[in-house]
Chain A
Amino acid sequence: TQLLEQSPQFLSIQEGENLTVYCNSSSVFSSLQWYRQEPGEGPVLLVTVVTGGEVKKLKRLTFQFGDARKDSSLHITAAQPGDTGLYLCAGARGSSNTGKLIFGQGTTLQVKP
């Protein structure tokens, strides 16, 4: 059972287009992280959101945590080829889960020049 559903799993767009990646769950998370991973490298943390309804911006990337802390979205404005990579959302379940993260399936993004 996948506790964190991430969609879409694959996305190929042209440079300049906008896109949104979604992570949804029926479970509540104490925090949620977004990571970006390039081939052959480890995931790099983009953002952590902890408060329901929270919105964080990182240049052209906008992250939102749902009011109920069950879902999150990543919106990229005017995508660039350098945004290409695997995007992963990961939720934490608080102290009862010993710090483990529950990962979504990942979204492979390709931005064509």
Chain B
Amino acid sequence: GAVVSQHPSWVICKSGTSVKIECRSLDFQATTMFWYRQFPKQSLMLMATSNEGSKATYEQGVEKDKFLINHASLTLSTLTVTSAHPEDSSFYICSAGTPLETQYFGPGTRLLVL
């Protein structure tokens, strides 16, 4: 299957700082990438859809000014959590979409805000 990487795999930061997470499709080009958030033992919650060269589409209830998404190329999307607070601590996962509707997921980024 296709390979999607995420960096960093985990990050600890102080409250009020910003954190950037990168998502890369390594062996295919993805015009659409997706960002999810996941709480322990729960399913994935879609945060936003990232389209190459255009603004991201955010799901209802997700603050676009807090979770900045940039999809600068067909292989890279970034999620920046701005002014992070402890309640933003979570497991963030990206995926890259394919024309066949299948999504390939990255390994996830564990964020802990102190």
Contacts and interface: CB of A to CB of B under 8 A. Distances in A.
Interface of A: 6, 30-31, 33, 35, 40-45, 48, 86, 88, 90, 92, 94, 98-101, 103-106, 108
B43 A103 contact: yes
B49 interface: yes
Given A40-B108, A42-B93, A98-B49, A105 B101 contact: no
A100 B60 CA distance: 14
Interface string B103-114: 111111010000
B32 A106 contact: no
B41 A33 contact: no
Given A43-B93, A43-B105, A105 B43 contact: yes
A108 B41 CA distance: 7
Interface residues of B, number: 26
Contacts of A31: 100-102
A101 B43 contact: no
Contacts, number: 67
Nearest to A102: B46
Interface of B is mostly: strand
Contacts of A42: 4, 6, 93, 95, 105-108
Given A41-B108, A88-B43, A106-B42, 12 more contacts: A31-B102, A40-B110, A42-B6, A42-B108, A43-B105, A45-B1, A45-B103, A48-B102, A90-B103, A98-B49, A101-B34, A108-B41
A43 B44 contact: yes
B51 to A, nearest CB: 8
A3 to B, nearest CB: 12
